[in-house]
Amino acid sequence: MQVRAGFLGAAIAAVLALVVAGCGGGGDDSSTSSSGASSGGSEGGTVTVLMGTAPDYLDPQLGYTTQSAEPDWITYTGLLTYRHATGSAGGELIPGLATALPEISRDGLTYRLRLRDGLTFSDGRPVRASDFAYTIERAIRVNWGGKSFFTNYIDGAAAYDSGRADSISGIQTDDATGDITIRLTEPYGAFPNVIAFPSAGIVPRGTAMRNLSNDPPPGVGPYMYTQASVNRGFTLERNPRFARFAIPDIPTGHVDTIRVTIVSNTQSEAQRVLNNEADVFDPGDTLPPSLLPQIESQAGDRFSREPIPSTFYFFLNTTKPPFDNEQARQAVNMAIDRDAMVRLASGFLKPSCWFIPDGVAGHPGSDASCPYGDRPDLAGAKRLVQESGTAGTKITVWGQERSPRREYVDYYTDLLNKLGYDAQERIIADEVYFPTIGSGQTDPQTGFADWIQDFPNPSDFYLLMDARAIQPTNNQNFSKVNDPFIQRQLNRLNPVPATELDSVADEWSALDQYTARRAYVVVYGEETMPKFYSDKLDFDAALFHPTYLNDWTSLQLK
Amino acid sequence: MASDPSISASAGPGISSGAGVGVRSREEAQPSPSTGLGPYRLGLRRLRRNKAALAFGALFLLIVVLCLCAPLYAEHVAHTTPNANHVTDTVTVGGVRKDVVSPTGQPIGPTWQGRFLLGADQNGRDIAVRLLYGGRNSLEVGAVATLITMVLATLVGITAGFFRGFVDGVLARILDLIWAYPVVLLGIALGTSLALGGITIGPLEIQGNSLMVPAFIIGIVYIPYVAKPIRGQVLGMREQEFVDAARVGGAGPLRIMWSEILPNLSSTIIVFIPLMIANAILLEAALSYLGAGVQPPNPSWGTMISDGIRLIPSAMHLTFVPGLMLVLAVLGVNVFGDGVRDALDPRAKVRLEDVQERAEVQR
């Protein structure tokens, strides 16, 4: 969940016509611990979290980065949410403020949920079903970066967004019964994931339709904001009302106060946690490689690398030479040294050749072997380039400035030159990178790209391979993949409800293996993030959630 | 260079009117019959006596020669190229095989042998090879930028100073416009935009990642710093008798500028050259450090410093070594430049000492 995901929502959702949704329960099998139970540490106390990157907003209907999702997830519970667990278990949708998972009509167009009884906001006001409708309207009105997830699928949301309607006609609520009915314009299998976004976390009707980052509204969650300033820091305190609701699988937290401070650089951020002057290093920040040896030797028992569902790859534009030639694409896949990429990432990368990452349904898993080998074969790749007749082609490799992404591109450019191409780099500022390479005018040949999941669903990743996502501006299908087989499969698999993903995991896996064979992209790994705490915290009891990173409800003083 | 340097055309230290050898007609610039030595031979004699300037000049020359030998070193000693990655390679040091880059991304330090003499960077590239190639790039950018600055600034300065009036007004305003922007900010703005699209002037097309792009940018941003003193000098010179004599003799403006004015500016230009080379190298390093100069993966001292910053606590040499080379090169050319100025304009040194003395007394 990065700011960039907003582009996807705006650009792709507008063109995709995804089909069918369904209903059901279930979820991924939990391979790791789930939260809620104390491991024997002390209750109460204060924890200090440091962030080197400030949250974009502290208003729940505006936040769209990992830094804002971490506090919002435990402060504004939605009708649905994710299990507080690590690994693939953390991707399981569970009822939040709703009594159960949604009941979905056979045509996939109608979702029915019921609000739990007796809920109140942190300020004591009762929660009503109509607050949900207001929350979605507010997210649209304040212009949330991912609002197209609502406006493109909820009936009447687009009319509300354009000012043609005063409310969203597709959301019907009954405050007396707590019933909530959502009608979609078209079936969308990932819609349960959409209503689990923290931005759908319920706020009271009448909350001002403007950015309230410095005075966040009350919510329903284990914690509540008591002080907030986006660029300086904020404080969360335990919500005394929440425990009474006894919502299953949503923990009430251990510490009384979580104090978050925004710091100016990650070097001092890491140093302070290493010296036990602060308790949590924010995983959204890059741990300075220069401190890594010291951290690993002095604080090895309170530091780990946690994989998050993400895909790091080089795109290969299939409409331009040399990568319109399949042999040329295969050659690059054959030559890439993923071990080198791991070293360039200072170990914060888990090598992979699959587009669907580990922890997401459809990941081919360890049984499947990479179609072009697990080890680099430079000689074989050079032969392929010669056979393809593309040797000597001029290539511009696009990349971002920030480390280690620039180092990835330096390596990749050198690799292309070793293969016999005439490659040059074009490094541009991080802020303008994706709009630039997504522009039809630029139409880049190859370069760096990544995707960090919005929600744990393979369709979230395969939006990047969907031919309908090829756009003149804000294009996200950088390789310009337009493969009839992939399109057919997406039409079949995308409408499968998020709650029934396991039933089609094998089909997603087969699709991902096909994509790897066709070498449309060069996938080299999945990002891992640092879980790094002070000595004061119970490291083993703390959970690292695949979507919302550090689960602050699991933080506990020793 | 904080104030309008045209003021120094009439007073003060630095590059002043006549630049030390005085204002002479072409005939006057001939060797003096009394000494048998021309002003440049006299200057050379003075320069030879300035041991410090010569030593620093030799240091700069040594750096230039070393950098020019980069391909030989890379091929025969280090057996690599400046952009070749060796991330997963190993190197034997003292009989022990070591990773060039460790699994956690730590590059190897100096081995004090042929391969990775000064260690490697994050991508496993040989620092010594990149240092020499980076020096070539930095010096090349510095030299070309100085050439652009000197040619255009001389042209603009002479034209503005000689014609005065409307022409001077237009040119002076353009110079003011460039002058008004802080050099580094202007360089970043131009560098960032031109690095993307390159430069196309008629049939001349320069790619965004060419070394000529930062050279062009630096050459342009320094024009006012040279053109303004030249203009000030020409303003005074055009009123001199030897110019009147040429005019009476039927010489047109172009002829006067070429044959009478330009030769009298030569010592000023010579004095400016090392100064501008030093400034250009420094600005190139600053722009490259900020990503607006030499484009990756090509090395320059500025990009190498920038690349090494994130590993500074554990691998300080990545930043220190290119920084040291930069200091030595700039110091060398600056001290040598001062020596050249003292040799060609001994009065400037006297004036400078006077100013310093007065400042001491006032304190």
Q: Residue B313: which of A290, A337, A404 has the nearest Cβ?
A: A290
pLDDT digits (tens, 9 = 90+) for A539-554: 999 999 999 999 999 9
Kindly report the three-state secondary structure assignment for every residue of A500-558: HHHHHHHHHHHHHHHHHHHCCEEEEEEEEEEEEECCCECCCCCCEECCCEECHHHCCEC
Residues 6+ apart with CB under 8 A from A408: A312, A341, A344, A345, A399, A448, A524
Position A138, amino acid: R
A344 interfaces chain B, CB cutoff of 8 Å? yes
* Å between B2 CA and nearest CA of chain A: 31
pLDDT digits (tens, 9 = 90+) for B118-168: 999 999 999 999 999 999 999 999 999 999 999 999 999 999 999 988 999
Partners of residue A428 in chain B, C-beta under 8 Å:
196
pLDDT confidence bin for A293, thresholds 50/70/90: confident
Tokens of A251: 């923990």
Kindly report the three-state secondary structure assignment for every residue of A40-77: CCECCCEEEEEECCCCCCCCCCCCCCHHHHHHHHHHCC
For B277-288, give one letter per residue: b (16+ CB within 10 A) or e: bbbbbbbbbbbb
B309 interfaces chain A, CB cutoff of 8 Å? no
A425 interfaces chain B, CB cutoff of 8 Å? yes
Q: Which of A405, A407, A418, A426 is the best mutation test for B, with the most CBs of B within 10 A?
A: A407
Say if the Cβ atoms of A427 and B296 lie within 8 Å. Answer: yes
Cα first-last separation, chain B:
23
* Å between B119 CA and nearest CA of chain A: 16
Peptide bond between residue A404 and the one before it cis (omega within 30 degrees of 0): yes
Give me the sign of the Cα torsion angle A34, A39, A43, A45: negative
Q: Residue A293: which of B195, B207, B314 has the nearest Cβ?
A: B314
Partners of residue A350 in chain B, C-beta under 8 Å:
none
10 Å CB burial of residue A165 (0-12, 13-18, 19+) is middle
pLDDT confidence bin for B228, thresholds 50/70/90: very high
Say if the Cβ atoms of B196 and A426 lie within 8 Å. Answer: yes
pLDDT digits (tens, 9 = 90+) for B21-36: 344 444 444 444 445 6
What's residue B182's pLDDT? Answer: 84
Say if the Cβ atoms of A428 and B196 lie within 8 Å. Answer: yes
User: Is 60 exceeded by the pLDDT of residue B351?
Assistant: no
Q: Residue A346: which of B83, B105, B208 has the nearest Cβ?
A: B105
Beta carbons within 10 angstroms of residue A517's beta carbon: 14
A291 interfaces chain B, CB cutoff of 8 Å? yes
pLDDT confidence bin for B207, thresholds 50/70/90: confident
Partners of residue A424 in chain B, C-beta under 8 Å:
207, 209
pLDDT digits (tens, 9 = 90+) for A254-277: 999 999 999 978 888 999 999 999
What's residue B348's pLDDT? Answer: 58
Partners of residue B101 in chain A, C-beta under 8 Å:
343-344
Residue A256, SS3 per DSSP: coil
More confident residue, B37 or B246: B246
Q: What is the mean pLDDT of residues B351-359?
A: 58
Tokens of A55: 């949250």
User: Is 80 exceeded by the pLDDT of residue A288?
Assistant: yes
pLDDT digits (tens, 9 = 90+) for A462-515: 989 999 888 888 788 999 999 999 999 998 998 888 888 889 999 999 999 999
More confident residue, B58 or A2: B58
Displacement of CA B327 from its chain's centroid (Å): 13
* Å between A337 CA and nearest CA of chain B: 8
User: Is 60 exceeded by the pLDDT of residue A27?
Assistant: no
pLDDT confidence bin for A381, thresholds 50/70/90: very high
Flag the least confident range among B145-154, B201-210, B216-225.
B201-210
What's residue A31's pLDDT? Answer: 42
Cα first-last separation, chain A:
31
pLDDT digits (tens, 9 = 90+) for A118-155: 999 999 999 999 999 999 999 999 999 888 889 989 99
What's residue B250's pLDDT? Answer: 87
Tokens of A363: 């990941």
Percentage of the residues of chain A whose pLDDT score is greater than 90: 74
Cut 0.90: pTM above it: no
Say if the Cβ atoms of A347 and B104 lie within 8 Å. Answer: yes
pLDDT digits (tens, 9 = 90+) for A45-98: 999 999 988 898 999 999 988 899 999 999 999 999 999 999 888 989 999 999
Say if the Cβ atoms of A414 and B83 lie within 8 Å. Answer: yes
What's residue A431's pLDDT? Answer: 77
Say if the Cβ atoms of A293 and B209 lie within 8 Å. Answer: no
Measure the CA–CA gap between B302 and B283, rounded to whole angstroms: 9
Measure the CA–CA gap between B219 and B141, rounded to whole angstroms: 9
Tokens of A442: 């630029």
Residues 6+ apart with CB under 8 A from B181: B189, B221
Say if the Cβ atoms of B209 and A345 lie within 8 Å. Answer: no
Q: Residue B297: which of A267, A288, A425 has the nearest Cβ?
A: A425
pLDDT digits (tens, 9 = 90+) for B277-335: 999 999 999 988 888 888 889 999 999 998 888 788 778 889 999 999 999 999 999 99
Question: Average pLDDT over chain B, rounded to whole?
Answer: 83
Contact A313, A84 (CB under 8 A): no
A325 interfaces chain B, CB cutoff of 8 Å? no
User: Is 90 exceeded by the pLDDT of residue B230?
Assistant: yes
Q: What is the mean pLDDT of residues A165-181?
A: 96
Select from A513, A517, A553, A556 the least CA-distant residue to A533: A556
Q: Residue A290: which of B295, B297, B311 has the nearest Cβ?
A: B311
Partners of residue B84 in chain A, C-beta under 8 Å:
414
Partners of residue A409 in chain B, C-beta under 8 Å:
296
B311 interfaces chain A, CB cutoff of 8 Å? yes
- Angle, alpha carbons A443-A449-A451 (nearest 5°): 130
In this structure, what is the dihedral angle of CA atoms B185, B188, B191, B192, given to the nearest 10 degrees? -130
Position B166, amino acid: F
Rg (Cα) of chain B, in Å, rounded?
Answer: 24
pLDDT confidence bin for B359, thresholds 50/70/90: low
* Å between B235 CA and nearest CA of chain A: 45
User: Is 80 exceeded by the pLDDT of residue A35?
Assistant: no
pLDDT digits (tens, 9 = 90+) for A320-376: 999 999 999 999 999 999 999 999 999 999 999 999 999 899 999 878 899 999 899
- Angle, alpha carbons A107-A109-A113 (nearest 5°): 115
Contact B223, B175 (CB under 8 A): yes
B122 interfaces chain A, CB cutoff of 8 Å? yes
What's residue B353's pLDDT? Answer: 59
pLDDT digits (tens, 9 = 90+) for A513-535: 999 999 999 999 999 999 999 99
What's residue B294's pLDDT? Answer: 87
* Å between B147 CA and nearest CA of chain A: 27
Helix axes B262-289, B183-197, angle to 10 degrees: 70
Select from A549, A399, A416 the least CA-distant residue to A68: A549
